[in-house]
Amino acid sequence: MHPTNNRIADLIPEIRAWRHWLHQNPELLFDLPKTSAYIAERLREIGVDALHENVGRTGLVAVIKGNAEGPAIALRADMDGLPIHEPSQADHASRTPGAMHACGHDGHSAMLLGAAKYLAETRNFAGTAVLIFQPAEEGGTGARAMIDDGLFDTFAISEVYGMHNAPAMPVGKFGLRAGPILAATDFFYIDIDGKGGHASQPHHCADPLAAANAIYNAVQTIITRSVDPVRNGLISITSIQAGEANNVIPQTAHMKGTVRNLYDDTREIIERRMREIVAGVAQTHGVRAKLTYDRLCPVTINHEREADLAADAAERIVGADNVDRHQPARLGGEDFSYMLQAKPGAMIFIGNGDTARLHHPDYDFNDDALPYGVEFWARIVEDRLPLDR
């Protein structure tokens, strides 16, 4: 089945051109001068009723009023890229060395712009569509910044919806689930301070590498021994840095990594046990070790009713066979979780087809998904804010 909205089909070449411009010009976190200026320019051309800039530093909020009064519902896209070099030779490849849109936020922003154009032209709804273009999703602080700037109060938002592309899910399919859908995401850093010296005299040293090795292994027992196996999480240590020379025991070692899980109690247990293990190993090895544990974003929990409504809207576009209402949760993180803590809503996955995985240098948003995403946004607004209420 193919999207059926002819007006949206007509808009796709223009939306694709926006997507390609955004892909060529990736920017990071809150530092989005070109991106937010470009999106703001498009929104002015489109003729939205109000455009608020610098919400949550570089975030944008556009307001489109329907043909009758009614409540306000919010649609959210993210705008930032990643510090990854893009090897692609495509015309629309990144023109900024060391940065690329490897998570598809270029596609997310372009689809929401497309929806803005459609909704501003047609206005077949009773109420207000609030379009949120969020900075700094990677790193997990952009949504918080916009909420702290009064996002939900200023615009009297009653529901909020988010969409993320999903590689390996065929184009034209949608998926979501009620309840936990994406993980709480924490970053940690372990700094070990030992006593360096000659490699031939380990007995005069306190080897930080031995301590790092012990910590590396011991923290995995949290997953296998401390956490309820059916409410488990993961700990990935992704960096260990220490030492230079063959014949020198280093003075310090530095580790970092990430913790993911879908349940608050699991998160508590993992952090507490990591603190105990780091302190215990440090004592055993005669080194000092400091754990810095940063909670980036909580579990993304779809509200039951809004998850159903989002699935219904997707079903009207692609049919029931192409909407999976029972997607397994994933251990990726999303700071959209903060928006779902503030207001009822849901995040839905949209198929990106057979592309490289998210955050891979070969990844690219799939332009074939554009019409489905734009139509989903249009559909949810017209469904949730019907004129013939």
Tell me the per-residue interface mask from 161 to 190 with Zn ion, x by CB under 5 A, - otherwise. ------------------------------
For Zn ion, the closer CB: 103 or 348: 103
Local structure of 42: helix, strand or coil: helix
By CB under 5 A, which span of 58-66, 97-105, 346-354, 360-368 interacts with Zn ion? 97-105
Q: Is 217 left (phi over 0), alpha (psi -120 to 50) or beta?
A: alpha
Find the shortest distance in angstroms from Cβ 309 to Zn ion. 23
For Zn ion, the closer CB: 103 or 318: 103
Find the shortest distance in angstroms from Cβ 104 to Zn ion. 6
What does the DSSP assignment read for 272-327?
Answer: HHHHHHHHHHHHHHT-EEEEEEEEEE--EEE-HHHHHHHHHHHHHHH-GGGEETTP
For Zn ion, the closer CB: 103 or 209: 103
Find the shortest distance in angstroms from Cβ 138 to Zn ion. 5
For Zn ion, the closer CB: 168 or 320: 168
Q: How many residues bind Zn ion (CB under 5 A)?
A: 1
Find the shortest distance in angstroms from Cβ 242 to Zn ion. 29
Find the shortest distance in angstroms from Cβ 222 to Zn ion. 25
Find the shortest distance in angstroms from Cβ 221 to Zn ion. 30
Would you count residue 103 as binding Zn ion (CB under 5 A)?
A: yes
21, 27, 32, 36 alpha-carbon torsion, rounded to 10°: 20
Residue 350's nearest CA partner among 336, 361, 365 is 365
For Zn ion, the closer CB: 60 or 103: 103
| 218, containing H or E segment | helix 208-221
Strand duo 126-134 + 68-78: pairing? parallel
Residue 284's nearest CA partner among 216, 221, 208, 197 is 208
As beta bridge partners, residue 117 has none
Would you count residue 111 as binding Zn ion (CB under 5 A)?
A: no
Q: What is the binding site for Zn ion (CB under 5 A)?
A: 103
